[in-house]
Every structure is written in C-alpha cells, then in structure tokens.
Structure 1
Amino acid sequence: MSTDELNDFLKEMADVRPLQHNEMAPEAGEFQPTLAQLARREAAEQDMEFDPNYLSMEYVDLLKPDDLIAYKKDGVQEGVYRNLRLGKYQLDATLNLLGKNLQLARKQLFDFIQDCHQRGIRTLLIHHGIGRNSKPHPAILKSYCAKWLSQIPEVLACHTAQRHHGGYAASYVLLQKNQQQKRDNRERHSKRF
C-alpha cells in the first residue's frame, strides 16, 4: 500500500469510534441452551441410536396400481417360483399394511419378516393395497413394499397375489429357511446315504 493510499484511508477512518459494549457475554459455563437447541440435541441423539431396520426410505421407482410385483433371487427354482406365483403354497402368516403411513409400514414389514423367519414360517401374504387414491402419488405404499421386499436378504421371492388372495393389492412372499430348518434338512438328507 502506498503512502498516499494509507493517508487517504486514515483520513476516511478519522471519525470512526469503537462500539461501546454495555452487556458482557456470559462466562463459560453460564450459557443456558434454548428450547430449540435442546430439541435439536435430543433429535440428534435419537438419530445416533442404532436402528437395525435397514430398509431404505429414499427414492423408489413408482409402480402403477395395476402393476405386477415380481422378484426372484438367483438360485430359486422355476417350479418353486411358479407355485408361489400361482398361490399353491399354504399361507402361514399375513400382514395387513392397509392405511398405514410409510414409516409405520416400513417398521411393521421389517419386524414381521424377521419374526416369521425366526419362527420358521416360509410363505407369507402381505396386504399393501393398490393405492389408486394415495397422495402424493398412486401406489406409493405398494411401490415401497416391492422395493423393501427385494432389500431383505431372507426374502427369496415375491409376486403379486392371485385374485382370491387380494390380487394387485397383495403379494406372496417366500422366505428362506432359518438356521434350524437348514440343520434339520441336512440331518434328514445325510441319513439317507
């Protein structure tokens, strides 16, 4: 900065006076958080708690109310999938998600699948509804159910139900065997040889 510039600056700043502080900031330890800050802290602490439910609430490919839900993992035999699709297996448990919001449906579906797998229940029926009038998009719950079912490792296959079981408003779900069922199956087949 040249001498002329410095002189110009000092001339401009000649009448500037420091602000007078009448209030002192509280000493460290005297600060009391506001209610809003306490609420944010509590929400952050709740978010940090472990949630075993890994089902995603993020973007979903929207289905139309009359779209089929069809999902099968690699390794599932075509005959097994066909029988599921045609509703030939006995339905051992049913979950009704009709009228539930997405958060509650996510929790109930996850808990239901985990409970059924633990108990050794293999074939399920999920009533998710068609959602023709759901807001903001039609078939939003149906779309999320299709996405969630494909995210659950215990689900081997799922398909839209036959008309007498709910049609487009419901889906069959086939679960893999739990550890006890696998162990029993190995023992049963090892005795044959």
Structure 2
Amino acid sequence: MIEDDDLAALRQEMKGVTPLKGVRKVDRSSSKVAEPTLQHRRQMAVTVEQKSTNHLSDEIIDLVQPLDSLEYRSNGVSLGVFRNLKRGQYSIDARLDLHRMKMLAAREAVYRFIQDCQRFDTRSAIILHGKGELSEPKAFLKSCVNTWLKQIPEVIAFHSAQKHHGGVGALYVLIKKSDRLKLENKLHINRGREDTDF
C-alpha cells in the first residue's frame, strides 16, 4: 500500500507529464459484413460440390526411366490373370491418351478415367502416357501414371503394353469389378454358372 507521503511525492514528480495516447490493438467495433446474396451462396455451394475428390499425389512421384517396363499386381490377382494382362490378351474396352497433357490435367484425367471405367463396368483399359524421352525430368508423365495408378483402389493390376499397343509408352490396366457387377456374378454362380472372368 502506497503511503500518503509517497503518493504526494509521486504526483509532484509526475507534474507536467502528459500520458501517451494508447493504440488500440484490437478493434472491437463490429463492422457489419454484408450477407452474401442467395445467388452468391448458391454459386458457392455448386463450386464446393464440383471440387474434385482426387487424392492422387502431385508431389511425391517415384521416377522411372523412359524404357522401363512397368508392372503392378495387387493381392487377389492370380498369376494367370496377370500373365494374360502382360501378354495383352484381354480386350481393350477403354482408352486414355495423355500425350501433350500437363501434369495436373493428366492427374485429373487418370482419376476420372478409372472412376468412369468402374462406373460403366469396364474391366480392361489402356493408358497411353508416352516414354518421355524428351521431357525434363525424363519419363516424368510415365512416372506420374505409375505412381497414381498404385494409389487408386479400383486399379487391381497394370503392365506395360505389347509393342503393337504402344510398348513401354502405354499401360494395360485391370479395374476392379463394381459392386453391381460383383452382385450379378454372385447371382450367376448361385444359379449354377461359373464366373470365369477375371
């Protein structure tokens, strides 16, 4: 507690001193932000809906070489099925050409292509990515496709194509059966018919 004498001395010392003007650090005045119009809110909602659910990496890519043969087989794909894929013995029901595409456009194209293949029960497809002998870094798009396809659960296997289909500049891709097709096959088996398809 300050004594009366001390307080009087302090006041005497502070005589003629003007207090500094305080700068307000937080503005508490509630500035009114105009409510977005109904039309603007609808546009924002549409934009959110249209955002891609694409989860494919655009940063971490395993680099491969232009003449490398690529292959991938997930659990559950038999060696016989994989051998047939490697030999190009399945009919190609869908085709995606990525030549001259930039990386982000190719990433979106690959993702949508595989989703569409499964939606329309396409089981065997081909993706043409090119060798990338002139790209910098070399085989960049090929490396991207190799990485991306392994990140898509609907892709159960892929292998570099035969020469007449593009060789190491293309990939045969096997796509998982859709739930609808699995149910259909189950019904066929229950009726006594074998499902011999991959």
Aligned to 1:182: 182
Give the letter aligned to residue 135 of structure 2: S
Aligned to 1:163: 163
Give the letter aligned to residue 73 of structure 2: K
2:97 and 2:147 mapped to 1: Cα distance? 17
Give the letter aligned to residue 152 of structure 1: I
How far did residue 179 of structure 1 move?
1.1
1:125 and 1:28 mapped to 2: Cα distance? 62
TM-score for the superposition, normalised by structure 2: 0.73
Output one character per residue of 1:92-129: Cα deviation in whole Å (capped at 9) or x when no partner: 00000001001000001100100110000000000001
Aligned to 1:108: 109
2:66 and 2:83 mapped to 1: Cα distance? 23
Q: Mapping of 1:2-17 within 5 angstroms? A: none
Aligned to 2:135: 134
1:68 and 1:151 mapped to 2: Cα distance? 19
Aligned to 2:145: 145
- Larger CA deviation: 147-156 vs 49-58: 49-58
How far did residue 19 of structure 1 move?
9.3
Aligned to 2:98: 97
Equivalences, count: 163
Aligned to 1:123: 124
How far did residue 61 of structure 1 move?
1.6
How far did residue 78 of structure 1 move?
0.5
Give the unaligned 5+ runs of structure 1. 1-17, 21-25, 31-45
Q: Which runs of 4 or more aligned residues in structure 1 lie more than 6 Å from their structure 2 counterparts after TM superposition?
A: none
Give the unaligned 5+ runs of structure 2. 1-18, 22-26, 32-46, 194-198
TM-score for the superposition, normalised by structure 1: 0.75
Output one character per residue of 1:14-33: Cα deviation in whole Å (capped at 9) or x when no partner: xxxx999xxxxx99567xxx
Could you say which structure has the larger radius of gyration?
Answer: 2
Output one character per residue of 1:36-76: Cα deviation in whole Å (capped at 9) or x when no partner: xxxxxxxxxx89x8531011112212100001110000110
Percent identical: 41
Aligned to 1:68: 69
